[in-house]
Structure 1
Amino acid sequence: MVDPAATAETKALYSNLWAVAARGFMFGHHDDLWYGRYWYDEPGGSDTKAVCGDYPAVFSVDLASVMDNRAPYEYDKRENAIRRRVMLEAHARGEVIVACCHLNNPVTGGDSWDNSNDNVVASILTEGSAQHTAYLGWLDRLADFALDLKAADGTLVPFVFRPYHEHTQTWSWWGSKCTTEEQFIALWRMTVRHLRDTRGVHNLIYAVSPQMDGEYADAKGRLLFRWPGDEWVDFIGMDCYHGLNTAAFSSNLKAISALSLEKRKPCGVTETGQESFSNEDYWTRCLLTPLTGQRVSMVVMWRNKYVGTNESDKHFYSVYPGHPSEENFRIMYSRSRSLFSADLPPMYRMAEGVTVE
């Protein structure tokens, strides 16, 4: 692992991320416990559970507003309290938590997709600069959050942390347009060092998440784009917005499965889905079939935006009550290789036959 001093529960989770892939893939959904298409902040709520009677095995969440310049605002303080609550609920059921962070641009004040300045990362890396000091403060907020995220028994709650995701793309201030390879790797390592060594955060599993939407002549090379180093990465993820192109999905699943075995690091699809899909057979055709024979521990759908009664807003990526794919989703749920909350082994106890180094 990246962190030799990782907590016992974190090492146990890591061992199970490897072991569970031999059984199948854990189904996940971003923000599933926080809101759904027609509900918001209802304890116990879940679009997934409303359709199949079970929670997702993986709960994905965004921690950007915990960290960046939004954190002091009252609205974000309230939402961050909800984030904390639903993360603890997921852990209490034995589910896996994965966290990304769409951080605002710390130089321009723009959002995560503001790629108007090519010197953002360079300025963060310049020790003594205002940007360096401010950014360490953002990381300190994450450290405070992680160190305060405790189960009922007082143990720290582990989660998979995937900073600077989709770095293969041009749209983020940490992406391929705005950084060099050396800068991206230095930012990654600085982040790990500050959290692990300076702040003593030992309940994180560090994941990369390149974007893998199409078919690539060198898929392995794209998965290793700006690779921070084997000793700096725990989990190999990929964000796959391939639409309904199952050939592309199958190709990338094959590539990440092979790389996982080569590097002896668990892997998974950290974001996927087709926005506003209406295919009745989506789950068996677009997930189950491509995943057959591949060794990945998770497949995480992007969010179902809360829209209330606004049916014109089609920002959803997973099933919900009333969607045409409901019955097909239940077919996928019934298959042995699709793992939901109730199917999980004790994820926070060491998996048998797995050694974590």
Structure 2
Amino acid sequence: MKRQPLLMLLILGAFWVQAQNKQQVLDYLYSISGKQIIAGQHNKEPNIEPTKWTDYIYETTGKYPALWSGDFLFQQENIDNRWKMIKEAEKQWNNGAIINLMWHGCPPDMGEPCGWDPGLLNAQLDDQQWEDLITEGTELNTTWKKRMDDVAVYLQYLEDKGVVVLFRPFHEMNQGLFWWAGRKGEKGTAELYRQTHDYFEKEKGLSNLIWVWDMQDMSRDFEEYNPGNDYWDVFAFDIYDGGYDKSWYDYILPIVGDKPMAIGECMKMPSKKVIKEQPRWVFFMPWAELVKESNSEEEIQDTYNHQRVISRDEMPGW
């Protein structure tokens, strides 16, 4: 009879510690907003090499990115190596990095693995399928919950290890080529985001996720995709076209309010001019191989040596 109260105390204690860890990361992001910017780096295919592009940055600059990003991905070989990617997330966290995870989930009417195009791209659900997806108890809805169950196992492992995750599902909501994206309004992409948020937090009990709402520099209709302030903690903006233009920054500011905002993906690293004139960005994250293809070694070194750019050795530790 005495064991049950003790077990409850242990569970509550673990939740309290995780809540403290999550708040510590959020507080840090708030504290640097307008002052400094974290250097990040995405690592995608292959998951068997989860530091491929982070290591490239170190080889080029002598410094590690302060934000490490991985991806659950969708090809069989990468699905098979998800645990390797997750263990690297744990290692990076223990070394002081912020962890960002993406989820390129296959369409719910397809099995896993799936292709890129068609697959993630150009395999949109029709209107009835979309309605089924967001309706409790339908076949597509049940399928999607099983996909979330699979991913939750990895996120729960990280929670058990004390790792906080910037979680960014359904990125680039206004990029209509993705099966999840381009659906405006209350019952569109934002609703799928809300349901996924609630499933992970309420049904799976995860408390280590910092939710990232992500858009791309292609259409100024962000409010059509906003899940609601209670559903996201950090806003991320993917820059592939003209997104560094200050008009984009000025457009985003009133939408974000005082929440942290970041350059979620980019080909080119932000210039000195951008860093100076757009101080609210709390991190930038070049996309995997594009960091090498779109930036010279000298440009990368200049960015990492900028007085306002934070590398991993300058992080406070968790």
Give the TM-score normalised by the residue count of structure 1: 0.74
Cα 1:155–1:86 change in 2 (3 A) is closer
Does the residue aligned with 1:225 lie in a helix, a strand or coil?
A: helix
Partner residue, 2:223: 224
- If asked which structure has higher relative contact order (CA below 8 Å, sep 6+), I would say 1
CA contact (8 A) 1:160 1:206 kept: yes
Partner residue, 1:105: 107
Q: Pick the aligned partner of 2:142 from 118, 121, 133.
A: 133
Shift of residue 173, structure 1, vs aligned partner: 1.3
Q: Pick the aligned partner of 1:12 from 24, 28, 34.
A: 24
Does the residue aligned with 2:277 lie in a helix, a strand or coil?
A: coil
Quick one: which amino acid aligns to residue 8 of structure 1?
Q
Kindly tell me the number of residue pairs found equivalent between the two proteins.
295
* Deviation sequence 1:176-215 (CA, Å, 0-9, x none): 1x565423232122111111111100000111111114xx
Kindly report which structure 2 residues correspond to 1:181-192, keeping only aligned pairs within 5 A, or say none.
181-192=186-197
Kindly report which structure 2 residues correspond to 1:54-133, keeping only aligned pairs within 5 A, or say none.
54-65=63-74, 75-109=77-111, 111-119=119-127, 120-133=129-142
Cα 1:48–1:231 change in 2 (3 A) is same
Shift of residue 22, structure 1, vs aligned partner: 3.6
Partner residue, 1:293: 277
Percentage of matched positions with identical amino acids: 20
Aligned equivalents of 1:332, 1:104: Cα separation in 2: 35
What is the RMSD computed on CA atoms of the aligned residues? 2.9
Partner residue, 2:43: 31
Shift of residue 77, structure 1, vs aligned partner: 4.8
* Deviation sequence 1:284-333 (CA, Å, 0-9, x none): xx5221221321110110011xxxxxxxxxxxx1148xx97212322222
CA contact (8 A) 1:118 1:173 kept: no
Give the TM-score normalised by the residue count of structure 2: 0.82
Give ranges in structure 1 of 5+ residues lacking alignment: 275-282, 305-316, 349-357
Structure with greater helix percent: 2
Quick one: which amino acid aligns to residue 209 of structure 1?
D
Aligned equivalents of 2:177, 2:200: Cα separation in 1: 26
1:198 aligns to 2:203 (yes or no): yes
Shift of residue 93, structure 1, vs aligned partner: 1.3
Shift of residue 35, structure 1, vs aligned partner: 6.6
Shift of residue 265, structure 1, vs aligned partner: 1.1
